[in-house]
């Protein structure tokens, strides 16, 4: 005991006792942010888990939406081509193959009806790449009317690719398109016509003698090989209007 009845602690500071508010207690951990870090980490892990659970469904939904959009656009292209009452094979090649496809298209003509069956594809984002979905669609064309319906995937699966059309048939379609374009817009319209951008038609050269247009092309097969592709020349004349096709020796396409 010190003077005047005061107790001496020998120079030691008082230490709180009997309370969790001391240093190293639960409240101290909270005060230092430990518990807050643990909560944030738990929330982050939960958020990633929820995202991984929901994202694939969203990606699949996007892929299906794109596939259905491709179906609608393909139907519209076929309807435009059939508006004049005729749907040529070259028009089908452009209209259908413009859409992303997971397999070859099959074309069947019966009386005045053209049926095109195709396995279309849609794509969306993905974790390690793209998410893809496919659907089998049947386009029924009775010019100028076109209907489209999704059918069983089995109708598109397990079928051998349809045989490529004979070159003479393709050449007839090209000549028919060239003549129709000539009637509508003249030689300049034929020169820039979509028919020359048809899949399987490889333009080698275009020549422009006075009042005429000569287009030399290779008609590629399904493999895209050009070494064995037949060579054709399409001659379009302004006056009198005409469009003809002639098969040439392969050397003319070298």
pLDDT one-digit tens code per residue, 99-149: 777 667 899 999 999 999 999 999 887 667 778 888 999 999 999 999 999
Residues comprising the chain, all counted: 254
List phi, psi (to 5°) of 74. -65, -45
Tokens of 137: 């669609």
| pTM, rounded to two decimals | 0.74
DSSP secondary structure letter of residue 22: S
Kindly tell me the burial class for residue 247, based on how many C-beta atoms sit within 10 Å of its own C-beta (0-12, 13-18, 19 or more): middle
State the Cα–Cα distance between residues 32 and 38, nearest whole angstrom.
12
C-beta separation of 100 from 76 below 8 A: no
Q: What confidence category does residue 7 fall into, taking pLDDT thresholds of 50, 70 and 90? A: very low
């Amino acid at each position: 005991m010190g003077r005047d009845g005061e107790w001496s602690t020998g120079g030691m500071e008082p230490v709180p006792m009997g309370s969790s508010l001391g240093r190293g207690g639960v409240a101290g951990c909270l005060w230092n942010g430990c518990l807050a870090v643990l909560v944030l980490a738990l929330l982050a892990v939960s958020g990633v888990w929820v995202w991984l659970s929901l994202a694939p469904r969203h990606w699949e939904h996007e892929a299906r939406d794109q596939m259905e959009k491709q179906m609608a656009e393909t139907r519209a292209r076929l309807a435009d081509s059939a508006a004049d009452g005729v749907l040529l094979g070259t028009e089908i090649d452009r209209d259908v193959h413009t859409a992303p496809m997971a397999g070859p298209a099959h074309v069947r003509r019966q009386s005045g009806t053209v049926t095109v069956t195709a396995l279309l594809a849609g794509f969306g984002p993905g974790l390690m790449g793209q998410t893809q979905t496919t659907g089998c669609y049947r386009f029924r064309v009775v010019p100028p009317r076109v209907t489209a319906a999704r059918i069983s995937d089995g109708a598109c699966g397990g079928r051998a690719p349809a045989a490529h059309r004979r070159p003479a048939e393709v050449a007839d379609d090209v000549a028919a398109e060239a003549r129709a374009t000539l009637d509508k817009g003249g030689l300049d319209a034929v020169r820039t016509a979509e028919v020359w951008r048809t899949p399987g038609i490889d333009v080698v050269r275009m020549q422009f003698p006075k009042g005429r247009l000569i287009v030399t092309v290779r008609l590629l097969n399904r493999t895209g090989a050009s070494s064995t592709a037949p060579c054709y020349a399409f001659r379009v004349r302004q006056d009198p209007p005409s469009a003809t096709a002639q098969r040439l020796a392969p050397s003319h396409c070298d």
